[in-house]
Amino acid sequence: MPAVSLVVCLYKERDLLERLLEKASGCYDDLVVVHDGAEDKPINDSKDPEKQVAIDFDTRRSDDPFPPEYRKPALPPLTGGIHELVKQHGGCYYEGPRAFQQEPHWSFAWWQAKHDWILRLDADEFPSEGMKIWLKKFWQSAEPPQEISGYTCIWPLWDGKRTVSRKLPANRIFLFHKQRVRFFGMVEQVPVADHRFDPIDLVLHHQPLRKSYGLQNLLVRKQAYRWRAVIARSLLGKPTDLPRWRWKNESWPEQWEQIRRGPLRTACSRFFLGTLRTLRDQWRNEQKFYPSAAISGPIHHTLICLEHWQLLRRKKARK
């Protein structure tokens, strides 16, 4: 019977986390929550990200000391805060360096998780009733075979008030065995399977307080600009310069290496071909188009390419 650790990394999303923990009740054995920065510090979006730790957390023993960038806040927790909420649900709460993204904290969180199977959810997500039933059956089943690294699900589009798609987007990795995946902590990077992820025709609700897709997310939110800058800068170095989990290779996966080799060529390809592929998938699966969702990903990746190209030009000019 596989035991499951629910891992959540977040920033100032107490109400959403409370909803998630209520709706995911009975779906996990262990809870680990990592806050991006100190919970009691005021929001400051003008600062640069704090220094990250370039550690392969899988190599650390459970009794090794925390990196100095991470801490387990003293008890009692702040009244009405996230730490208190996590304690009420029997979980462990940690604070890491402010990174303006969650991916750099995943490896630390997996290191602290008691169990190998990781249920990785965001604070603004929660499992559907069908997924809850599946997770409870998963608990009661035999350990999945070694060639299954994890499972993916459907992650429907949300317009801020209601779900507007049924089958797309798909391939959201929600449950995986942490000793069967590899990962480095850069925004938009996902765990890489040693073998395969099995698709499950179940829904994970993604319901933030805004639309989950669209041009406003790309062009208005400060976070989107930070994410693109982080990716562009990270691609100047190596994946092993980042916090990571079982990632030994200093070369980049092909999706990122394409940007490094030819940022302008990749920008054109991802804008035009990416849009066409997404529209094709929307029609095949939904028999309708969602134009703003179809173009969002391609524009985002085009802007990442352009940002990296500008950094390369500046680096060359300094030489």
Q: pLDDT for 79-88, tens place per residue?
A: 899 999 999 9
* Centroid of chain to Cα 181: 14
Q: What is the mean pLDDT of the chain?
A: 93
> How many C-beta atoms lie closer than 10 Å to residue 18's C-beta?
15
**Gap between the Cα atoms of 217 and 39, Å rounded:** 24
Angle, helices 222-234 vs 291-318, to 10°: value is 50
Residues 47, 37: contact at Cβ < 8 Å? no
- Does residue 48 surpass a pLDDT of 80? no
38: three-class secondary structure by DSSP: coil
* Structural domains in the chain, sorted by start: 4-206 (3.90.550), 215-318 (no CATH)
- Does residue 209 surpass a pLDDT of 70? yes
In the chain, the amino acid numbered 133 is I
User: pTM above 0.85?
Assistant: yes
pLDDT confidence bin for 75, thresholds 50/70/90? confident
8: three-class secondary structure by DSSP: strand
140: three-class secondary structure by DSSP: helix
Structure tokens at 87: 């304690």
